[in-house]
């Protein structure tokens, strides 16, 4: 089925040339930016949350502060959070470490 675009609210079918150009452009995009797998998307989401938690405690590493062992472990556990996660189920069931 031919693709279209909507111009000022009016649906207009693409010409064969326009559609071919669009498909080529999209194929080039997808070659460099493949649609991620569900596992990759879940991991991306997890990393966003993990990175936010790490950022919250970045100040612990300031030169005028000495991190406790519990703080060091918390941050290391966050960094290691994605280790061994090879299924969406595992990602969805990750337990975040408790902030000391």
Partner 1 sequence: MALNTLPAGAFADDAITSDKINLANTFAFTGTVTGTPQDMVLLSSVDSHTSPTSAVVFNSSVVDSTTYRSFLITGSNIYSVTNAQGLRFYTSHDNGSNFNNDNKRGQVYRNLYSGSSFGHEQQTVSSSGYCNIGGSMSSSNNLGGSMTLWVHGSSKSFWKYILYQIATRHSGGEAYNWNGAFEQQNSNAYNYFKLTADSGNIGGFFYLYGLKGSA
Report the interface residues with partner 1, using CB under 8 A: 3-9, 11, 14, 22, 26, 29-30, 33, 35-36, 41-42, 44-46, 48-49, 51-53, 55-56
Shortest Cβ 40–partner 1 spacing (Å): 9
Shortest Cβ 100–partner 1 spacing (Å): 15
DSSP output for the chain: ---EEEETTEEEEPPHHHHHHHHHHHHHHHHHSPPPPHHHHHHHHHHHHHHHHHHHTGGGGSTT----HHHHHHHHHHHTTTTT--SHHHHHT--PPPP-
**CA atoms of 94 and 6, how far apart (whole Å):** 43
Shortest Cβ 51–partner 1 spacing (Å): 7
Of the two residues 31 and 66, which places its CB atom closer to partner 1 in the complex?
31
Residue 42 main-chain phi, psi, to 5 deg: -65, -40
Shortest Cβ 14–partner 1 spacing (Å): 7
Of the two residues 29 and 65, which places its CB atom closer to partner 1 in the complex?
29
Of the two residues 32 and 64, which places its CB atom closer to partner 1 in the complex?
32
């Amino acid at each position: 089925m031919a693709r279209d675009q909507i111009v000022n609210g009016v649906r207009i079918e693409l010409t064969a040339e326009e559609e071919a150009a669009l498909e080529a452009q999209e194929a080039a995009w997808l070659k460099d930016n493949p649609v991620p797998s569900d596992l990759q998307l879940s991991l991306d989401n997890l990393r966003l949350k993990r990175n936010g938690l790490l950022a919250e405690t970045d100040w612990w590493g300031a030169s005028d502060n000495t991190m406790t062992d519990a703080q060091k472990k918390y941050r290391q556990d966050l960094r290691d959070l994605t280790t061994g996660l090879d299924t969406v189920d595992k990602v969805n069931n990750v337990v975040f470490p408790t902030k000391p």
